Amino acid sequence: MKLLTGNDLKSGAVIWWTGADWSIHIEDAADVGEQGEAILAVEEAARRVNAPYIISGEMTPDGPRPAHIKDRIRALGPTVRPDLTLKPADPAAGSWVI
C-alpha cells in the first residue's frame, strides 16, 4: 500500500490524500498505488499541499497504517506539549538567563 502525505499550506498540519481531497485523519487515507507520483505532481503544482511525498503503508482493522515508525509518529500529530515547557526567564522553574 502506498500513501500520499504532506503538510497543509495554511496550518502546517500533517495531511493525507483520500482519493479525492486531503484529510488530517490517517483513517481517511487512500492507497495511491502506481498513481501516487502523478497525483503528487498535480497536487503540488496546484499548491494544495506543501512537500508531498509517498510512503509505504499497510491496511489494518483500524484503517491505513504507515509502515515506518517515523511516519506512524508523524500521523499521530503534534507531540510537543506547550504546558510542560519551562519559561527561560523564570527563576522558579530552575532555569537561568545568562
pLDDT in tens, 8-34: 988 888 999 999 999 999 999 999 999
Helix then strand count (H, E) for the chain reads 2, 5
Pick the more confident residue, 89 or 7: 7
pLDDT of 86 reads 55
Mapped onto helix, strand or coil, the DSSP state of residue 70 is helix
pLDDT of 78 reads 67
pTM recorded for the entire structure: 0.76
Instruction: Report whether 27 contacts 19 (CB < 8 A).
Output: no
Q: In the chain, which ranges are E strands? A: 2-7, 14-17, 22-23, 50-60, 63-66
Could you give phi then psi for residue 83, rounded to 5 degrees?
-70, -10
Mean pLDDT of 35-60: 93
